A and B are shown apart, each in its own frame.
Chain A
Amino acid sequence: MEQSAILQMQGVNKTFDKVVALSNVDFELKSNEILGLLGGNGAGKTTLMNALFGLYKMDSGKIILKGQPVTITSPRDALSKGIGMVHQHFLQINNYTVLENIVLGSKVSHPFSANYKTEEVVIQKLCKQFGLDIDLSSRIETLPMGTRQKVEILKALYRGVDILILDEPTTNLIPQEVDALFQTLKIMVKEGLSIVFITHKLREVLTICDRISVLREGKNVVSLSRKDASDDMLVRAMVGEGMDLNKSVIFSEDKSRSGKTDQKPTLKLNGVNKISAEKTQELTDVTFTVNAGEIFGVAGVAGNGQRELAEVVMGIQPVSSGTVHLEEQDITVVDTKNRIANGFVYIPEDRLSDGFLNKVSVAHNLILGYHHLEPYSKKGIINWKNVKSSSMKMISEYSIKTTGPDEVGGNLSGGNIQRVMIARAFSQPSKLMIAHNPTRGLDIPSMDFVYKKMFESSATGMASLVISEDLDELLLICDRIAVMYRGKIVGILPREKFEKYEIGRLMSGYEQSSEETGKRA
């Protein structure tokens, strides 16, 4: 049965300041389907949908909605035409209730009071219809990510959309929540909605989508129905011809890591507590060891103390109690500069605030933290000739798109800024790498490159502490995974015991008490 197209976009072009984001892209969504919009970072998926939702103005291109050509100038406009979008970052007011968040900005029956009785009834009905189990009176800040996402979906449904765009909806969800989301999507399609599901995860589109469109570097690559799709061809469509899949980490058949850790501890945290200036307990009794050559992952929903952990290990923030050891040597009070000198390397999570210098050159950026070492400098004098030549090497090895070492950092795109940070981190021989979301914003070949680099370094004995919100990434590269929940390590699993749902359970803090007793026993 061939369904009719509810929405079409034709010949869409969009450039940002000389960078071509979309070039002559066509897009078609049929009614009552889940369309997977697949592609790596920077492929243009989100840009295309933002253009549809009225957030960006297209340079050229047409939108045909239910057979009629339309122009969409703003999100409000899009909503009124029945198009809703759930972004990666939710736009919610934390100390409002679910109900208040949903009705906010819409027409209400009693505009001068906080009486939302009528609206509540409508929303309750929607909840039942779509199987969304939410307590409308709870405040947003008390809810887990999966529920907050349901609120966002409900917001769109309440505004009567029949086309819903979901931008990387599984990013912050634990595996159990992902399953629940997929259930909801199926119900929604049954109830007459059409859904665009933006993702870079192959497995997700193969699980849930009816049809799949692949974008790469702002161009259409292929559109096909799921039953015609295979892993191999989608992978090839996403990464292009240039990448050797047999040698890749992400797509190789052999998922086992050699894991030749020699049990020589590089980093040891013992009973580390961290209490912030506002007296909140950020880390509680964190104890673990990372051995030489080991890749040790830290999983957890964002904001459960991962950042604090990274900064305590780097010496950026002091511990409140407990000890940090580097190869049996107590370094609890050693400052960041000396930790770097002792072989610590850091890829911070927030690259713009913690890792990158917008106002100075790419070369300045590439030597940050190592500027006092040879060959960059000698006796306090910087050798710019060496800096430039090393920078050129890094720029070509890490395929950083820039006009050269002298270009101002601020001109670089997000993915290229990440490449600068990766290049800098691997430019020095090191004992311990602390990498927080190291592949955020990178396309697939670049991600693969980073993993390969990590494996190379770990083969020479470098210990890695990889903190990531992307559980698939951790499952792929780590020897052991620790799970953080509310500043505590609630479990550490070796590679042979990696199990997605078990880790998901730990991440959400379920049965945390029994887990603790189990550990103690």
Chain B
Amino acid sequence: MTQIKKIFPYFIAVVAAFIAAGIFIAALKFNPFKAYETILTTSFRTPNGFIQTLVKWVPLTLVSLAFTVPLSSGKFNIGAEGQMLVGAIGAAAVGITCANLPAVLLVPMIILAGILAGAFWGLISAWLLYQFNINEILTTVLLNFISFALIDYVATGPWRDPAAGHPTTIAIGENGFLPMLVNQPPLTIGVILAAIAAILVYFYTDKTTSGYELVVTGANPRASKVHGINIRQMFLFSMIIGAGLAGLAGAIEVSGTQHRLIEGLHSNFPTLGLIIGLIARGKNQAVPFVAFFIAVLEVGASAMQRTLLIPVQVVLIMEALILIFILLSDLIRRRQK
């Protein structure tokens, strides 16, 4: 009963967002009911649609966790974008330079390189915070810009693919491609890696003493400090874990989807990651589910554009509206007290 009570405001917020966006679609002279039918059913009508949804779910879950894990300790990691890109660079670098290693070695190395490179990018902000108390929101955002320059440099530098018209590197070694879970339509074990990551995050924050310290630091840093918790260490730690998760997302994009480094491979995932993290209200265990829902919308949106010629941006509007309505429902609940 209480569970239903808790979920109810979310349900209302989603319905309200659909109605509001529906008015918008109707104003554009399209049929909102047909649009919603396409958006909501594409993922479940065909195996292809479902697998596409899972493929989107992988990076969405990981970049959202990159935001929510630091948020558990009260820190805002807005740099999942940069961390994902640097993770992708690390993965591509290993995949290209060690192209001839056997797959048993190369795949884990690529994944690990991605995680470490992403974590390193987060470590810069975390260390500035730890050592000099520099605001992490600022440093993570600014490091995003540096990462754009970095990926430009790598994709147009020594590993450039001369045949491509867009800044792109040559492909990584074939042994470095993520193994397939389903061949047609293609689904790699990336989905398993993301699921494992989400479960580990849940286990860590909910079941371990270190995770407990992370959560209480986020709840009240001063009281945590008074009771012997090294809160600055928790800040540092959570930022690095978050960044490592974003790096993993980058590595999976490189070795699972693109097989090379492409400028812009982060797509709109990091932005959606923030939205997902906020809709989940920073709850790590809710992130995979919210991410799945958003993945359904995203896949449905491209189908809607293909078949009904409704611009895909409509879905972005809807996602933003869901977030706004959920925040509103918070406000209303607080007022009622």
Write the residues of chain A forming the contact surface with B, with a CB cutoff of 8 angstroms: 17, 311, 314, 316, 335-341, 346, 348, 353-360, 364, 367-369, 371-372, 377, 380-382, 384
Question: Closest B-chain residue to A406, C-beta based?
Answer: B2
Query: Is B104 in contact with chain A by the CB < 8 A criterion?
Result: no
Question: B222: which A residues are within 8 A, CB to CB?
Answer: 353-354
Bound form: Cα–Cα A339–B228 in Å: 8
Give the total number of A-B pairs whose CB atoms are below 8 A apart: 76
Bound form: Cα–Cα A336–B227 in Å: 7
Question: A335: which B residues are within 8 A, CB to CB?
Answer: 228, 230
Task: Determine which residue in B215, B218, B219 has the highest number of CB atoms from chain A within 10 A of its CB, and name it.
Answer: B219
B337 touches A381 (CB 8 A): no
B216 touches A336 (CB 8 A): no
Question: B215: which A residues are within 8 A, CB to CB?
Answer: 360, 364
Question: A314: which B residues are within 8 A, CB to CB?
Answer: 226
A331 to chain B, nearest CB (A): 13
Bound form: Cα–Cα A350–B100 in Å: 63
Bound form: Cα–Cα A356–B224 in Å: 9
Question: B208: which A residues are within 8 A, CB to CB?
Answer: 380-382
Query: Is B46 in contact with chain A by the CB < 8 A criterion?
Result: no
Question: Closest B-chain residue to A376, C-beta based?
Answer: B209
Interface residues of B in 217-257 (CB under 8 A from A): 218-220, 222-230
Question: Closest B-chain residue to A364, C-beta based?
Answer: B216
B207 touches A357 (CB 8 A): no
- Can you list 8 pairs linking A and B with CB atoms under 8 Å apart? A316-B226, A336-B227, A337-B229, A340-B227, A356-B220, A359-B220, A371-B209, A382-B208
Bound form: Cα–Cα A339–B222 in Å: 17
A368 touches B223 (CB 8 A): yes
Question: B210: which A residues are within 8 A, CB to CB?
Answer: 380
Question: Closest B-chain residue to A340, C-beta based?
Answer: B228
A62 to chain B, nearest CB (A): 27
Question: A380: which B residues are within 8 A, CB to CB?
Answer: 208-210
B209 touches A368 (CB 8 A): no
A364 touches B219 (CB 8 A): yes
Question: A368: which B residues are within 8 A, CB to CB?
Answer: 216, 223-224, 227
Question: B220: which A residues are within 8 A, CB to CB?
Answer: 353, 356-359
A353 touches B223 (CB 8 A): yes
Question: A360: which B residues are within 8 A, CB to CB?
Answer: 215-216, 219
Question: Closest B-chain residue to A367, C-beta based?
Answer: B212
Question: B209: which A residues are within 8 A, CB to CB?
Answer: 371-372, 377, 380-382
Question: B211: which A residues are within 8 A, CB to CB?
Answer: 382
B300 to chain A, nearest CB (A): 35
Contact partner of A369 among B219, B228, B337, CB < 8 A? B228
Question: Closest A-chain residue to B224, C-beta based?
Answer: A368
Query: Is B213 in contact with chain A by the CB < 8 A criterion?
Result: yes
Question: A355: which B residues are within 8 A, CB to CB?
Answer: 223, 226
A357 touches B230 (CB 8 A): no
A56 to chain B, nearest CB (A): 15
Bound form: Cα–Cα A358–B222 in Å: 12
Question: B207: which A residues are within 8 A, CB to CB?
Answer: 381-382, 384
A22 to chain B, nearest CB (A): 19
A371 touches B213 (CB 8 A): yes
Q: List 9 additional A-B contacts (Cβ < 8 Å) besides A337-B228, A364-B219.
A: A336-B227, A337-B229, A340-B227, A346-B226, A355-B226, A357-B219, A358-B219, A377-B212, A384-B207
Task: Determine which residue in B215, B228, B337 has the highest number of CB atoms from chain A within 10 A of its CB, and name it.
Answer: B228
Bound form: Cα–Cα A283–B220 in Å: 27
Contact partner of A359 among B219, B225, B228, B229, CB < 8 A? B219
Question: A358: which B residues are within 8 A, CB to CB?
Answer: 219-220
Question: B212: which A residues are within 8 A, CB to CB?
Answer: 364, 367, 371, 377, 382
B226 touches A348 (CB 8 A): yes
A316 to chain B, nearest CB (A): 6
Question: B213: which A residues are within 8 A, CB to CB?
Answer: 371
A428 to chain B, nearest CB (A): 12
Task: Determine which residue in A338, A380, A384 has the highest number of CB atoms from chain B within 10 A of its CB, and name it.
Answer: A380
Q: Can you list the 6 inter-chain pairs with the closest CB atoms, starting with the nearest?
A: A337-B228, A369-B227, A357-B219, A336-B228, A359-B219, A340-B228
B132 to chain A, nearest CB (A): 16
Question: A359: which B residues are within 8 A, CB to CB?
Answer: 218-220
Bound form: Cα–Cα A314–B230 in Å: 14
Bound form: Cα–Cα A372–B230 in Å: 13
A4 to chain B, nearest CB (A): 42
Bound form: Cα–Cα A343–B225 in Å: 17
Bound form: Cα–Cα A314–B225 in Å: 11
Bound form: Cα–Cα A340–B229 in Å: 10
Question: B228: which A residues are within 8 A, CB to CB?
Answer: 335-341, 369
Task: Determine which residue in B213, B226, B337 has the highest number of CB atoms from chain A within 10 A of its CB, and name it.
Answer: B226
Question: Closest B-chain residue to A359, C-beta based?
Answer: B219
Question: A337: which B residues are within 8 A, CB to CB?
Answer: 228-230
Bound form: Cα–Cα A368–B208 in Å: 14
B227 touches A346 (CB 8 A): yes
Question: Closest A-chain residue to B337, C-beta based?
Answer: A17
Given contacts A380-B209, A382-B207, contact A354 B216 (CB under 8 A): no
A295 to chain B, nearest CB (A): 22
A114 to chain B, nearest CB (A): 40
Bound form: Cα–Cα A364–B229 in Å: 14
Bound form: Cα–Cα A382–B209 in Å: 6
Task: Determine which residue in B209, B219, B222, B223 has the highest number of CB atoms from chain A within 10 A of its CB, and name it.
Answer: B223
B145 to chain A, nearest CB (A): 33
Question: Closest A-chain residue to B220, C-beta based?
Answer: A357
Question: B224: which A residues are within 8 A, CB to CB?
Answer: 357, 368
B7 to chain A, nearest CB (A): 17
Question: B219: which A residues are within 8 A, CB to CB?
Answer: 357-360, 364
Question: A381: which B residues are within 8 A, CB to CB?
Answer: 207-209
Bound form: Cα–Cα A358–B219 in Å: 7
B223 to chain A, nearest CB (A): 5
B133 to chain A, nearest CB (A): 13
Question: A17: which B residues are within 8 A, CB to CB?
Answer: 337
Question: Closest B-chain residue to A350, C-beta based?
Answer: B222
A410 to chain B, nearest CB (A): 10
A349 to chain B, nearest CB (A): 11
Bound form: Cα–Cα A71–B67 in Å: 52
Bound form: Cα–Cα A357–B227 in Å: 11
Question: Closest A-chain residue to B213, C-beta based?
Answer: A371
- Chain B window 191-221, contacts with chain A (Cβ cutoff 8 Å), 1 for yes, 0 for no: 0000000000000000111111101101110
Contact partner of B225 among A336, A341, A357, CB < 8 A? A336
Task: Determine which residue in B207, B212, B230 has the highest number of CB atoms from chain A within 10 A of its CB, and name it.
Answer: B212
Bound form: Cα–Cα A314–B222 in Å: 14
Bound form: Cα–Cα A358–B223 in Å: 10
Bound form: Cα–Cα A353–B229 in Å: 15
B73 to chain A, nearest CB (A): 12
B216 touches A357 (CB 8 A): yes
Bound form: Cα–Cα A353–B208 in Å: 25
Bound form: Cα–Cα A364–B219 in Å: 10
Question: Closest B-chain residue to A403, C-beta based?
Answer: B2
A356 touches B226 (CB 8 A): no
Question: A371: which B residues are within 8 A, CB to CB?
Answer: 209, 212-213
Question: B230: which A residues are within 8 A, CB to CB?
Answer: 335, 337
A57 to chain B, nearest CB (A): 15
B337 touches A354 (CB 8 A): no
Bound form: Cα–Cα A358–B218 in Å: 11
B74 to chain A, nearest CB (A): 10
Question: A339: which B residues are within 8 A, CB to CB?
Answer: 228
Question: B227: which A residues are within 8 A, CB to CB?
Answer: 336, 340, 346, 368-369
Question: B229: which A residues are within 8 A, CB to CB?
Answer: 337, 369
